[in-house]
Structures are given as structure tokens and as C-alpha cells.
Structure 1
């Protein structure tokens, strides 16, 4: 039997990139998965791609913006009604917007926090309530970042949200522990995805040059960490954040040739 057979999993922000990789990994390990993305067509395409690969229709697409709490609750209700509860929630949905502190706008701040903070918090709440209702010992995994540990120019607001998710993992672990629900976060470092390669075609070479282990992260590095935190082997780990960054946060340099928006 595969590791996550008879396990129901929700992954948000999963149309592409890290979220898609996490969905695919759980599905390959036998889980039934709700794949969420704010773009409904992208969610459907992503779910179809995984279902074709594994040969079953075990991935369900859901198009909704996690900033809309009503939609989130409806998604969780619909999915759990179909499959009989929820065991694992990987709260990956998040947005990034750059901007120097002195000119950063309230509109940009509200857009960012509505997804990264309110969306994460209330998705976790909906997931936890389902786990408790169905008496499932559950796993909630939040997606933090190295930017929640080390400051970056023009990413003050984004970094604040990612730091908040680390504390959220601690606070929710404290409140949900008696229900046998663990809550942890993943601190993702530089990772090769469609978006990062679009921003910088030399992304891998640039970040290889500053990583202590000489390599840039791949989506499977993050997905494998999510699988571990969701597994029985991690049953005694809660309230923690695992940094998956090749040791980058040891000293945290930025590649001089990396064409990001951080210097704008």
C-alpha cells in the first residue's frame, strides 16, 4: 500500500510550481487530493495532468481565491463531503509583491495580507474544523520562506507575512495539539519553478553560486518535506519550521547577477 492511501489532502495555490509538485507527490503516493488555484481553468488543467499520469481520477480541481473565506469554506465542505473528511492540508497559496517601504501602498499591503495571512489562517481553520468533525488525526502544513527569517530589500511586507506564518505554526500547534493535529511550516529557499525561470533564465546558476551546498532547490525538495511532515514518521513534530534552502540562511547572500526586483 502506498504511503498516503486512504488519505484526503488539500493543497492550495497548486496550479503550477511548488503547489503542483506537492499535489503530484501526494497523488503518486495514493492520496485523494483537492487541487486549488485561483484560476479555475488552470486548476482543471493541473488536476487533469496528474490524473492522466497516475491513471485515476483522484485529484479534484477547485478554483477559488483563498482570500475569499466563504469560497474556502465551501471548497472544504464540498471536498470533504465527497471523500469523507480531510487528513492533510498544505496551505501553499501566496503572492509576492515587491516595493520599497517608503513608497509601498496600502492597496498592495492589503492585497498581499489578504492572501498570505487571512487566506492561510482561515484555510487552516476550515481544515482543522473538518479534521475535528471527522475525528481525524491531522496535519496542517504552512508555506513560509527564507524571507520570513532574513530581511530582503523591497520585500518588507512579504517577509513579514512569511515570518507570521512561522508564528502561526506555533500558535495553531498549541491550540490543536489536543485534537492530535500537528501544525508545521516549510521555509522555502530559492527554488526552480516556471515563475523563477521566467524572472531569470540563469536562476539556477546564479543561486548555485551562493548556496552552501552548491545547488538550487527543486520543487521535489519542497514536496518531499511536505510528505515527511504529513507522514506518521513526523507525528511528534509540531509548531516547527523546517528550512529547505540548502543552508542559504546560514549567511544569506544574494547573487550579484540575479535580475530580481529587489533593487528597484
Structure 2
């Protein structure tokens, strides 16, 4: 097993937790941030330590301008270096254009976009100075690819991450540092993730795969993108959504479906 080191923002629960668990199983030492869920961060650290890996966790209000650089430097110091940065922290909000206010926009910008850039700045500088051909991964969303109502703020910042990754990949390629983006679709963030649980929601019926995704599945993709097997992949955004936003799905305007897309039914 390797002794590579990964720092994951927003790693105490949901997709971030899944990524941390998968990477720890692959041999990474882990550092994560959490916002308010200290017990969940502690339980993850205990789980990872049970795998024989190290795990550090930090409370961090990443929406504040000075925090991302400070906590990334701390993670690098505690880990003894960094090979992989996964920027995942964020909040999901729907807000109407008619009611949105500047405080909401500022907070979402600070957490969902600025923190990604500032964490990357610190990690990339360390990699360059220490000649580490590492990897940076942003967690965006399919909502950054397809438009939805009441999503002009959250969706726009997720789209901005995709564009940032492309520019960063061009800039960092000279140093052997790869930068990629993962765009998850509908993902179950709590529960035991049994097939029954993943398929029972009404929303799952709108996904061609017939179910929600799991955090670990996003983790497997992150592990691959950070591995030598993906050395020829940089500047890419990979959807992991069970086909949710594929073009050509018939729109269902019935009251039962509401807005969105329904699964195609084939007869034969």
C-alpha cells in the first residue's frame, strides 16, 4: 500500500466522506475539514485509523476568506506533504432570482468557489516547490452543466468550477500536476445504500440507471483520477449521474412528474 497523502474539504459526511473512505482503503493518509459535524468527523477518523491510516480533521468555516489557505497549510504540515487535494465542501441551495440577496451570494461564493481556488493555490505551490506530480480534483455538479429553475447562483458557481479546472489544468501541466472535475448527479448521502433504498424514491425513477448514486461511487472515480492509470487525463469533467442529464430523454410535463425528465419506456 502507498503512503500518499490526501486533503479533502467537507469530508465528514456525504460525498466527501465516501471519497475519504475509498482513498484510505487505497492507502492514503487523510486530512478533512468539517463545519459543524464534529462527531461525524471523529467517527470517520476512527474508521480510517482502523484501516491503519492516519486521519486529521479540522473545523473550518471555509466561506471566510482567510480560512482556506490556513487550513490547507495545516493539513500539509500534519500529513507531512500532499499528493492529492479534493475540494468538495459546499452547500446546496435553491433561490429565486426574485428574492435572492447579496449576503446569500457572498456566502455561497466564498464556500462553493473561492475556497476551492485558495486551497488549490496552497496545494499547487507545495507540489511545485517539492516537485510532486500530484492531482487536484474539484467536486462540481450536473447542475453546473444543465440549467434548472431557481438555480442561477448555486448552478453558476458549479459551472465556474468546471471552467476553472480547465484553466488550472493548462497552467499546471508544465509541472506534471493534473487538475480534473467530477460532476455528481443525484446521490444518496445518508443511509445504508441498499439497492432497495437507492431505488425507492420518486426521483430515482427519472434516472436511466433506475437508482441514486452513492458517495463511495464518487470516491472510486476520485481514486482513479488521482492514480497513475489516469495520467493522460487532465482538464476533464466527468459526470457520474446514472445518465440523469443525457440529452434525448423525453420531457414529462404531467402533474405527477413535475418539472424534469422521466425515464424512457420501451415497448416491444
* CA-CA distance at 1:203 after TM superposition: 7.8
What's the counterpart of residue 9 of structure 2?
12
Structure with greater helix percent? 1
In the aligned structure 2, how far is the partner of 1:137 from the partner of 1:258? 47
What's the counterpart of residue 23 of structure 1?
20
Which residue, 45, 49, 59 being the options, matches 2:42? 45
* CA-CA distance at 1:65 after TM superposition: 1.8
Change (3 A) 1:157 1:204: farther
Change (3 A) 1:46 1:222: same
In the aligned structure 2, how far is the partner of 1:124 from the partner of 1:112? 18
Structure 2 matches for 1:134-153, cutoff 5 A? Answer: 134-153=130-149
CA contact (8 A) 1:18 1:219 kept: yes
What's the counterpart of residue 182 of structure 1?
178
The secondary structure found in structure 2 opposite 1:191 is coil
The secondary structure found in structure 2 opposite 1:10 is strand
TM-score, L = length of structure 2 = 0.86
In the aligned structure 2, how far is the partner of 1:203 from the partner of 1:94? 26
Report Cα offsets for 1:28-73 as digits up to 9, x if no partner: 111111111123724641443323541x351111111222343322
In the aligned structure 2, how far is the partner of 1:210 from the partner of 1:143? 23
- Verify: 1:126 aligned to 2:122, yes or no: yes
Which residue, 159, 163, 167 being the options, matches 1:167? 163
Change (3 A) 1:90 1:257: farther
The secondary structure found in structure 1 opposite 2:63 is coil
Larger Rg belongs to: 2
Change (3 A) 1:86 1:69: farther
TM-score, L = length of structure 1 = 0.87
CA contact (8 A) 1:147 1:159 kept: yes
- Number of aligned positions between the proteins: 252
Q: Which moves more between the two structures, 201-210 or 13-22?
A: 201-210
In the aligned structure 2, how far is the partner of 1:31 from the partner of 1:159? 31
Unpaired stretches in structure 2, ≥5 consecutive residues: 260-268
Which residue, 95, 98, 101 being the options, matches 2:97? 101
Change (3 A) 1:149 1:256: farther
In the aligned structure 1, how far is the partner of 2:7 from the partner of 2:135? 10
What's the counterpart of residue 33 of structure 1?
30
* CA-CA distance at 1:126 after TM superposition: 1.2
Change (3 A) 1:150 1:204: farther
CA contact (8 A) 1:43 1:62 kept: no
Unpaired stretches in structure 1, ≥5 consecutive residues: none
CA contact (8 A) 1:43 1:61 kept: no
In the aligned structure 1, how far is the partner of 2:157 from the partner of 2:222? 20
CA contact (8 A) 1:137 1:179 kept: yes
The secondary structure found in structure 2 opposite 1:130 is helix
What's the counterpart of residue 112 of structure 2?
116
Change (3 A) 1:154 1:181: same
In the aligned structure 1, how far is the partner of 2:43 from the partner of 2:258? 29
CA contact (8 A) 1:66 1:115 kept: yes
Change (3 A) 1:163 1:11: same
* CA-CA distance at 1:244 after TM superposition: 0.3
